[in-house]
Structure formats: structure tokens, C-alpha cells
Amino acid sequence: MERIFLSAPDISGRERQLVEEAFDSNYVAPAGPMISKFENDIKAYTGFENAIALTTGTAALHLCMIVSGIGKGDGVWTSSATFMGGVAPAVYMGAIPSFVDSDISSWTMDTNVLAEALETANKKNNLPKAIVSTDLYGQSCDLDAIDALCQQYDVMFFSDSAEALGAIYKGRHAGKGSKAAVLSFNGNKIISTSGGGMLLTDDKEFADRASYFSTQARQPFLHYEHTELGYNYRMSNISAAIGVGQLEMIEDKVERRRSIFNRYKSELGQFEGVDFMPEPEGQRSTNWLSCMTVDPNKTKGSSGDIIELCNQEQIEVRPMWKPMHLQPVFDNTEFFGSGLCKTLFETGLCLPSGSGMADDQQTRVIETILRVLKA
């Protein structure tokens, strides 16, 4: 039986041809024309003024931390419902992470909880230096609300948009309005460069510093001269060629993922106890992953039962992100909220959502889940 993956790469455009062009030009290096083209194309698509192509999304966020001077003992608050790559860069810098709960109406960072926590921290003279909010499963966080709070308390705001290329918030691209946003192009993202990331910002000085730190912090001399420590984080020209081809198809991919989500919702969402990720008004989620929750008190089987049966049937279904405040590595770390993100983890599922998934494959997924829900 052919395995159905959660989110397999979907190479359906000019990627091969563009990689061949990159080979023909002999720019088989972390420099070359495909990198500038990919950066320019992403700028045009997202509306950001500066874009820096990097090896990973994690590297992009690490550069954000470096450029903004996050250091030992600084507070950095992130969404608890996220992937480790959105948190670890702050910890690399010696910062102390704290985690913020999800909101019932969006599943992204709860801005009421955030407002309360900032007010309390302000009174204690213990404000964080930065907030990193995750755009979850293809959906933007409440950019305006978080931005307003960050301005009120003079806290830097970064958007972890790794999962949200193509997401729209009130007419603008996800992350736009934050100090900087990061994207990921790893193998399971809406577009993949086989591995890669991007730093987006409207602040030219910030972009220049990030670019400098991404190339070993080299001073402008022919010999190699360094006054600071940098990193080797630039994307390769070959990866960028794949990215250029992938980006040409982005709107098709968004449409396909949204239609996959809508089909799941219409065929599974009528069961009592089954709910799908809500999309707040004024937003366009890409539905990078289709996510649903299953209340075992109201349904005939739990999310665990669904995962187990799907696995037997060669269908990759996973729980939603395990909240960071429940990760053993972050034992005793501060958490703000009542724990909705824990409930989402305990009852939530990520369903196969790849834009290359065929209709009959989705039928197989739905029929397998129905065996549990109708048991």
C-alpha cells in the first residue's frame, strides 16, 4: 500500500529546468543569480522590502536574535504551540524563554493572555526583550494586536512565519508589521528548497546586519578580517533555483491546500465533537496543515485511535505540536494562560495536506478516519 505523507514536497513546475540553469552557470555555491532572483521574487510576493535567503528558518530566527542583541538572561516570550525551531534560537543566545497559550478563536498566540502577562511583567519591571509569535499551520497570528502591545511596552516583535508563506492578514502578508519575519522551506513546507529559510524585514539596517552575520561577519577586506563572530547561513544557489520554481506555483499550492482542508471539514466536520482549525475574519490561512480536534467524550474514538488506525493503513497523521511548556527540556519554564494549547495537543490531529496529494488519496484518509468516528 502506498504511504500517504503528511506534507510531501510538491515539485510540479520549472524546478528541474532552473536547477539545470544553475548548474550550467556553474554557480554551485552559496552565491549566484538564483539567490537574488529568489529573494526578489519573495519580496514581490510578500511585500517585504528586504529578504535574505538562508540555510534554514531556524538560522533566520537565530540571526534575528543576534541582530537585535538578545543576550544572556533576556526574556523572550514565544507561542507555546510551536515547533522547537521557533524557540531554540533565543535559547542559543542565553535568553530565558517563557511561553504564551493559544486563543480559542484562532489557535495562534492568545493576545488577551499576552496583554495581561505584559501588564504584570511591567509592574514587576520584568518585561521581555522580544516576543516571537508563531503563525500556526499556515495561519497568521493577530499581527495588529501583538504589534500594538509590543509598541506599548517597547518590546521587539518577531514573527515566526515558517509555516505561513502565502497567509494573508487584513490584506497584507503574514509577518508584515513585525520587526522581522522568518520563513522555512524545509521538505514539508508549502514550498520547499529541500532545506532553507528566509529572513524578511522592512528595516534595511537590520537586513544588512543579518546578511553580514550570515556570511561569517566578514569585514570588507580582500583578506579575511573579523571584528565579530558570524555564521555560515547563506542558502545555496541550487536550493534557490528550486525555490524560484516552487514560488511560481505558490497560489496554486495555497488553493489546493485550502480545498483539501474544506473537503476534510465538509466530510468529517459534521460529527459531534469534531472541530476544525478556525479561520478568523479578515484572514486567509494557507491551511498548510489541515488540523482538527476530536473530543473523545463526544466521538466514538479518540485522536489516538485515529493516529493508530491511520498508521496501520500507511497514512501519516500526527498530533498537533506538543506545547513548549510541556517539553522536558523546558521544565519549570514560565507559562502564561489556562492551557488551551495542551488541550489542542491532547485532542488535535494534523492530517495529510500536501498540495500534491491526489483526490483518491484524500478519500482513503477520510474513509479511514470515518471507520473510527462511525465505529
Ligand X SMILES: Cc1ncc(COP(=O)(O)O)c(C=O)c1O
**Among residues 75, 86, 128, 166, the one that binds ligand X under rule CB under 6 A:** 86
Write down the least CB distance from residue 160 to ligand X, Å: 5
Nearer to ligand X, 56 or 80 (CB): 56
Q: Of 163 and 305, which CB lies nearer to ligand X in the complex structure?
A: 163
Smallest gap from residue 208 Cβ to ligand X (A): 22
Q: How far apart are CA 254 and CA 257, in angstroms?
A: 5
Closer CB to ligand X, 195 or 230, in the complex: 195
Instruction: Assess contact for 108 and 140: CB atoms under 8 A.
Output: yes
Question: Given the complex with ligand X, which of 108 and 361 has the nearer CB atom?
Answer: 108
Q: Which of 13, 30, 32, 57 binds ligand X (CB under 6 A)?
A: 57
Among 50, 68, 80, 82, binds ligand X (CB under 6 A): 82
What is Dmax (Cα atoms) for the chain?
71
**Cβ neighbour number for residue 211 with a 10 Å cutoff:** 17
- Closest to ligand X by CB, 175 vs 197, is 197
**Nearest distance in Å: CB 43, ligand X:** 19
**Binding span for ligand X by CB under 6 A among 83-91, 97-105, 267-275, 290-298:** 83-91
Judged by CB under 6 A, does residue 83 bind ligand X? Answer: yes
| Contact flag: residue 193 with ligand X (CB under 6 A) | no
**Considering the complex, what minimum distance in angstroms separates the CB of residue 58 from ligand X?**
3
SS (H, E, C) 300-366: CCCHHHHHHHHHHCCECCEECCCCHHHCHHHCCCCEECCCHHHHHHHHEEEECCCCCCCHHHHHHHH
Cα 157 to Cα 137: distance, rounded to the nearest angstrom: 20
SS3 category, 62: helix
What are residue 132's DSSP bridge partners? 78, 158
Q: Record the cell numbers describing residue 194, joined without a space.
A: 529541500
- In 3D space, the residue among 149, 94, 140, 74 whose CA is nearest the CA of residue 119 turns out to be 149
Interatomic CA distance for residues 152 and 122, integer angstroms:
11
Q: Is 246 in the site for ligand X (CB under 6 A)?
A: no
Residue 98 C-beta: closest distance to ligand X, Å: 17
Region binding ligand X by CB under 6 A among candidate stretches 55-63, 221-229, 252-260, 336-344: 55-63
**Contacts with ligand X in 291-330 (CB under 6 A)?**
none
**Of 126-165, which residues contact ligand X (CB under 6 A)?**
134, 160, 162-163
d(CA 47, CA 201): 10
Please work out the total of residues on this chain that contact ligand X, with binding judged by CB under 6 A: 14
Q: In what order do the strands lie in the sheet with 290-294?
A: 274-276, 290-294, 348-351, 318-319
Matching residue, cell 524563554: 97
Contact (Cβ atoms closer than 8 angstroms) between residue 368 and residue 305: no
Question: Which of 128, 197, 243, 352 touches ligand X by CB under 6 A?
Answer: 197
Per CB under 6 A, which region of 68-76, 80-88, 276-284, 343-351 contacts ligand X? 80-88
Return residues touching ligand X (CB under 6 A): 56-58, 82-83, 85-86, 134, 160, 162-163, 184, 186, 197
